[in-house]
């Protein structure tokens, strides 16, 4: 390839072994840090994401599958906030009031879940 590599690798990789060096993170870069998942906020967001996913699966399997958009939307929003907090986007985007956005998301999710559960029962 042009331009030539200024530092060619003098030792080729041995057969059957891998070369020690910096590991490429790949998909692990998208996973939240273990310290965040062990915190109270991380555990709450993880539990909320899990419960939203279970609710979504229950609505898919039930006869009230017309209402499955709300649990799916809540699941995706909970995942977004989980990764936003884990990647510390709240420190990078100072213009947004993150605690208020999280509070409003939880309140609207509770109201929407209440409304669609009453409608699904009726």
The answer to whether residue 71 scores a pLDDT higher than 80 is yes
The pair of structure tokens assigned to 22 is: 């910096």
Query: CA-to-CA distance for 37 and 101, rounded, in angstroms?
Result: 20
For 35, phi then psi, to 5°, come to: -65, -40
Taking Cα atoms as reference points, which of 45, 72, 48, 44 lies closest to residue 58? 72
47 burial class (0-12, 13-18, 19+ CB within 10 angstroms)? exposed
Identify the residue with better confidence: 25 or 43: 43
User: Are the C-beta atoms of residues 86 and 49 closer than 8 Å to each other?
Assistant: no
Evaluate if pTM is beyond 0.75: no
The answer to whether residue 36 scores a pLDDT higher than 80 is no
Mean pLDDT of the chain: 75
């Amino acid at each position: 390839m042009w331009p030539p590599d200024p530092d060619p690798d003098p030792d080729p990789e041995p057969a059957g072994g891998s070369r020690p060096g910096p590991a490429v993170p790949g998909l692990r870069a998208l996973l939240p840090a273990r310290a965040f998942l062990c915190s109270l906020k991380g555990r709450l967001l993880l539990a909320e994401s899990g419960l939203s996913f279970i609710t979504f699966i229950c609505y898919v399997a039930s006869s009230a599958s017309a209402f499955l958009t709300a649990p799916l939307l809540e699941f995706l929003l909970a995942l977004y906030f989980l990764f936003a907090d884990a990647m510390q986007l709240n420190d990078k985007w100072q213009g947004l009031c993150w605690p208020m956005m999280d509070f409003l998301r939880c309140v609207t999710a509770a109201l929407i879940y209440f409304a669609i559960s009453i409608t699904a029962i009726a």
